[in-house]
Structure 1
Amino acid sequence: MTGRAARPARPVLLLLVLLAGWLGLGVATAGPAAAHAELVSTDPGEGARLDEVPAEVTLRFSEGVSLGAGYARVLGEGGERADTGAATVDGDTVTVPLREDLPDASYVVTYRIVSADSHPISGAYAFVVGDGELADAGAVADGAGVDPFVAAALPASRALGFAGLAAGLGVPAFLVLCWPAGWASRTMRRLTTAGLLTVAGAAVLTFLLQGPYAAGAGLGSLLDPSLLTTTGASSFGLTTLGRGALALLLAALLVPLWRRAGAPTAQETAGLGAVAAGVVLTTAAVGHPVAGALPVFATAVAAVHVAAMALWLGGLTALLTGLVRTGAEAGELAGALPRWSRLASASVAALVVTGVVQSVREVGSPVALVSTPYGWVLLGKLALVLLLLAAAGVSRVWVQQQLGLPRTRPHPRRRVPAHAFATAGATRAGAEEDAVASAARARAAAQARGAVEDVAPLRRSVLVEAAVAAGVLVLSAVLVGIPPARAAVAQPVDVTLPLQAAAGEVGSVQLSVDPARPGPNTLHVYLFDDAGQLTQPADLRVTLTEPAQEIGPLDVDLEPAGPGHWVADGASIPGAGTWTLAVSVRLDEFTAATASTDVPVR
């Protein structure tokens, strides 16, 4: 019994081991931000003072974007439109052509674009042509938020969709894999049908909400034709509607099975599985997985995560509604529970592994885990998952102790003289063995029936699992709409570059910038000769330039910190963008060398 009771702790132990590995892996693999586009550079730059009006304004983001239901505009001092209304998008760059014959004045650039993960990004900044005062862009940007009712309705629709997946996909999967007799259950039919209709309804609601969400409009714009057309033309809209259509198709394919109250054939199971896989894939192929690095891999991981979630929670739903019933179904469930216990363990393992992989991609580092809204919600979800695993462990212990088939020992027999076997011995031995096997089966069946009649401990643990799982689904829906922690936290830069002189490489320089965000930063410079030894040059200069915003070069004040080592503590970086950090070294009277690198500043 002790050995069996220890088994349920394995998923928890696996989760803790993987999380510990993530702490190191997250630091080692921390790289550029993924998902949720951010403004990287603009032309003209923020606060720039120009001699003449430019022909266009360009905005460059950290990933591909679309205008969708959003906009990109340039406004004059009186709020009138200074652009031609023909903004275009080319990958990660938005171009806004300006009208001709514009006067010298201050202009405000305001934008609301949709990132690859379907979330809107908005902002505003100002520049000046001539000697006038710079306009206040903040007043324009303040009104570009998301309507609070739309912001609350979107995660609610996602949570409904996740719950529908658990019932609509998980319940029939439980019947196929663990409880074939359950196809005759009216309760299972109602659960599955309600789940698939919920998936379809949530998909339609999410589709309708996406337009107002992207445009910053209210619920009154749900049926706005222009917003519906824009959403329908996007990959997000097509994928979401596809999910709803596949859910309805699956519900239709299940109707003949419910009518005949029988398990599907192998061919029918394959067809149902293909449609269910489509529902899972269209659920995973939106949001954070499709943006940033390795979208195909991230979508595949998300699909496995969704499928494991549906299997586990769908099985819980079937068990919860079945265990409160009595009669003939009790014995059937007694046979199904051991199979379900094994399936649940596999689902938990898949959830743990894919969850850690997703966390590494979206969070990136332990610092981001504890310092961003995404990380805080993820920690809350993790706490609920641990509680869920504990409740699942109680259920698994009960199943193993109450329904596990006992090992039977050979029945003690009397010693029989050898010559007795010459005539009737073989027949008697066979009869005794049949009797022992029959008795063992009878004891196992009686034990199973008795266990199912006393299911109070199992019912309580399953109820706890279901309640906590509801909280996990809600937090999962919230996470979909929050910028990934990796994108919200600046990443320090640490790089070693070759020093290039007219005659070739003459050594190397190591540069580190921390935290690589607007404001004060710490810069370390280490200079090495050809032999890899720290060296002292005749002169050293370090500059920062933001070419896209026409800022710089700005000299960085360095202080000696040892042989071949200089520090700039509190070096100021004026704003976000891709800054070029350049090093100029004069090694002696005749030799000068340079090195440079781009530093993404968030």
Structure 2
Amino acid sequence: MTATLRKAGLWAAGLVITLALLLLPVETASAHSYLVESSPSNGSSVDVQPEEVVVTLSEAFTLASPSGAVSVLDEHGERVDEGRERIVGDGTELRIPLPSGLPDGVYLVNWSIVAADSHVMGGSIQFGLGVPATLVDAAAEPTGSAVLSAGLGLLKALLYAGLVLAVGVPLAARVLAVAGTRLRRLDGIASIAAGALIVVSLAQLLVQFAWIRSALDGVPPPAPVDVLAFLGSTYAFAIWLRLIVLAALWLLLSNASRVSSRAGGQATLGASAGIDTPDESSSTSASVHDARLIWSGILLSGIVAAASTAMTGHGGVDLLRLIPATVHGFAAIFWLGGLVVLVFAVATRRLDESTVSALGRWSLLAGVSVALLVLTGAVQSVWQVGYLGATWSTPYGRVLLFKLALVVVAVLAALGAWFWTRRRAAQEAGRPQPGQTRRFRRRVSLEATSGLAILVVSGLLSSMTPAASDYRPVVQGTSDLGAYDIEVAIENSRVGSQTVRLLVEGTSGDVPMPDSVTARLSSAEAGVASIEVEFPFRSTLPVGPDEAIPVQYQSLPVNVPLDGTWELEIQVVESERREHVARVAYEVVP
């Protein structure tokens, strides 16, 4: 084993260990969109039976399955709906018809859907018909197979790696004026990569369907209607589009070397962009024109393939998110493709004057690519992370920080190579001095290694729950009531289900344990007067003699429907004649 291979092996081992540490502990994936409103509202009691239940979510979605993804259960767990649910409006509203004549009781509405970013999520609401909406066990959050989820992440990394070889390499090779046998070899590799991408895309389609089904507990095996519904989904459409583009790309690449050879090696991306190239003779002008058309087609195919890949990740189908995700992906494909060409086709031998000149063109385009990567990456980070605390408190945020560190290493290495190129271009014409090519190769190899690691991490991130969805901020506070000290912890201070934990302790051993503890939530900003908080779970902590006994209270989950400033009012009853009230204000985020 050579020293280079040993270094690569150590670097890869370090990458795997670091990612493992960043992902521990891996929390259960949570919903990527949230409940905006429902009718009846969650936890409400109605006197007249509604004709249907209406659920509105924050993002467009599709049902995880045409059958069994939505249910309305009575308090005995029996299904009462007729399975005629439908999605209406802009794709964010779910309507579930109810049969007439339902008896009084508590009803639980469950749903499992596929969010716009292809992840499975679920939710539930409950309401009382003629009775209070006491708590009923909700369906567990749908969680797909961890093995299949990891497989999807691997397939996405392979997709980006394949696009680097099939699109980035041939485009960058023309910028870097690679010709002859080396160009034909790179074209052959790109053609093989395009064919392999077709297989990977089909595998992604199959694994995604299996992963969605693995998240649906209690749903019967897939019927033909389930398969057809998935094959007609937005996710599948993105892959069908990619398959068509990849087939066209394979045909273009198969003819690229022949046309370029007939053009005399002059059909570079630089020539197409108007950068100076050798004069074209009339005998080769037609071939040069054909070559430029082919490479324009490859460029367009690469952009569409990058867009379709973004559609099956966090880019979704929202143009506001899809465009930055596509630009980010294509910029990375082109930049990494150039690094592959530099390492394996340019810096393998001593550089000559023409190659140094081509490096100047490459430096310009690579600089633009890196700038776009940084800009679009920042935009996507704001969307995917959302909250500063989510950066280091979620697996996604920690892996994103690791990716940022890799980007910094790659950019520093790129700057070193760029300064080297500028110095060579400013010197007198001629080949670089012996030894300078080796130093240039080391800088580019570091940049390429960092780029490869970024590719792996990006594939992992695309299959992880975004930090903005996984973030569960905990609000903590204390209050001195004179006779009692109270510690308050509100788990998950976001819109939706919240749990309140209290630790109530007398200030001295003479203070009795509380007779009872009650609480309510209110928000003048949200226009909510009162939401009762129940504490059915109570336990005491061991203490020494003559010490006050600390009592722990845990509430039932309570649904907070809106964001803004909320107040938790806690009433501690010491005796029939004495009670204490504490108030804790906190912010609820979307």
Q: Is the 8 A contact 1:74 1:109 kept in 2?
A: yes
Equivalent position of 1:424 in the other structure: none
Once the two structures are superposed, what CA deviation does each residue of 1:370-418 show, in whole Å capped at 9, x if it has no partner? 34443322212111111111222333344444x43514xxxxxxxxxxx
Equivalent position of 1:575 in the other structure: 559
Question: Root-mean-square deviation (CA), in Å?
Answer: 4.0
Once the two structures are superposed, what CA deviation does each residue of 1:505-543 show, in whole Å capped at 9, x if it has no partner? xxxxxxxxx9765578xxxxxxxxxxxxxxxxxxxxx86
CA–CA distance in structure 2, aligned partners of residues 191 and 235 of structure 1 = 31
Q: Is the 8 A contact 1:579 1:600 kept in 2?
A: yes
Once the two structures are superposed, what CA deviation does each residue of 1:466-500 show, in whole Å capped at 9, x if it has no partner? 33222212222232234444455599xxxxxxxxx
Matches within 5 A, 1:407-418: 407=428
Matches within 5 A, 1:163-174: 163-174=161-172
2:107 is the counterpart of 1:111: no
For residue 229 of structure 1, what is the amino acid of its counterpart?
L
For residue 462 of structure 1, what is the amino acid of its counterpart?
V
* CA-CA distance at 1:83 after TM superposition: 0.8
| Secondary structure in structure 2 of the residue aligned to 1:121 | strand
CA–CA distance in structure 2, aligned partners of residues 462 and 216 of structure 1 = 43
Equivalent position of 2:550 in the other structure: none
For residue 59 of structure 1, what is the amino acid of its counterpart?
V
Q: Is the 8 A contact 1:576 1:601 kept in 2?
A: no
Distance 1:240-1:330 versus aligned 2 partners, 3 A rule: farther
2:391 is the counterpart of 1:369: yes
* CA-CA distance at 1:51 after TM superposition: 4.7
CA–CA distance in structure 1, aligned partners of residues 336 and 55 of structure 2 = 45
| Secondary structure in structure 2 of the residue aligned to 1:288 | coil
2:60 is the counterpart of 1:64: yes
* CA-CA distance at 1:321 after TM superposition: 1.7
Equivalent position of 1:197 in the other structure: 195
CA–CA distance in structure 2, aligned partners of residues 166 and 151 of structure 1 = 23
2:291 is the counterpart of 1:269: no
* CA-CA distance at 1:86 after TM superposition: 0.8
Distance 1:106-1:573 versus aligned 2 partners, 3 A rule: closer
- Aligned with 1:284 (options 293, 306, 310): 310
For residue 295 of structure 2, what is the amino acid of its counterpart?
T
Equivalent position of 2:364 in the other structure: 342
Identity across matched positions, percent: 29
Equivalent position of 2:236 in the other structure: 237
Which structure shows the bigger proportion of residues in helix conformation?
A: 1
Once the two structures are superposed, what CA deviation does each residue of 1:66-85 show, in whole Å capped at 9, x if it has no partner? 21437111123454321101
CA–CA distance in structure 2, aligned partners of residues 133 and 38 of structure 1 = 21
Equivalent position of 1:351 in the other structure: 373
Alignment TM-score, normalising by the size of structure 1 = 0.64
CA–CA distance in structure 2, aligned partners of residues 225 and 465 of structure 1 = 48
CA–CA distance in structure 1, aligned partners of residues 221 and 101 of structure 2 = 39
Q: Structure 2 unaligned segments of length 5 or more: list them.
A: 1-30, 268-287, 474-491, 501-521, 534-555, 567-586
Equivalent position of 1:527 in the other structure: none
Equivalent position of 1:396 in the other structure: 418
CA–CA distance in structure 1, aligned partners of residues 563 and 325 of structure 2 = 34
Equivalent position of 2:569 in the other structure: none
2:34 is the counterpart of 1:38: yes
Alignment TM-score, normalising by the size of structure 2 = 0.65
Equivalent position of 2:331 in the other structure: 308
Q: Is the 8 A contact 1:183 1:257 kept in 2?
A: no
CA–CA distance in structure 2, aligned partners of residues 238 and 64 of structure 1 = 16
Q: Is the 8 A contact 2:245 2:305 kept in 1?
A: yes
Q: Is the 8 A contact 1:72 1:110 kept in 2?
A: yes
Matches within 5 A, 1:173-188: 173-181=171-179, 185-188=183-186
| Secondary structure in structure 2 of the residue aligned to 1:118 | coil
CA–CA distance in structure 2, aligned partners of residues 173 and 254 of structure 1 = 11
CA–CA distance in structure 1, aligned partners of residues 148 and 203 of structure 2 = 11
Once the two structures are superposed, what CA deviation does each residue of 1:252-291 show, in whole Å capped at 9, x if it has no partner? 1121222455244333333333333322332334443346
Matches within 5 A, 1:11-50: 36-50=32-46
Matches within 5 A, 1:405-554: 405-407=426-428, 441=429, 444-445=430-431, 447=432, 450=434, 455-487=437-469, 517=495, 518=498
Distance 1:581-1:56 versus aligned 2 partners, 3 A rule: farther
CA–CA distance in structure 1, aligned partners of residues 294 and 135 of structure 2 = 66
Q: Is the 8 A contact 1:544 1:553 kept in 2?
A: no
Count of aligned pairs between the two proteins: 446
* CA-CA distance at 1:239 after TM superposition: 1.4
Q: Which runs of 4+ in 1 moved over 6 A?
A: 221-224, 329-332, 579-582
* CA-CA distance at 1:53 after TM superposition: 4.9
Equivalent position of 1:535 in the other structure: none
Distance 1:183-1:360 versus aligned 2 partners, 3 A rule: farther
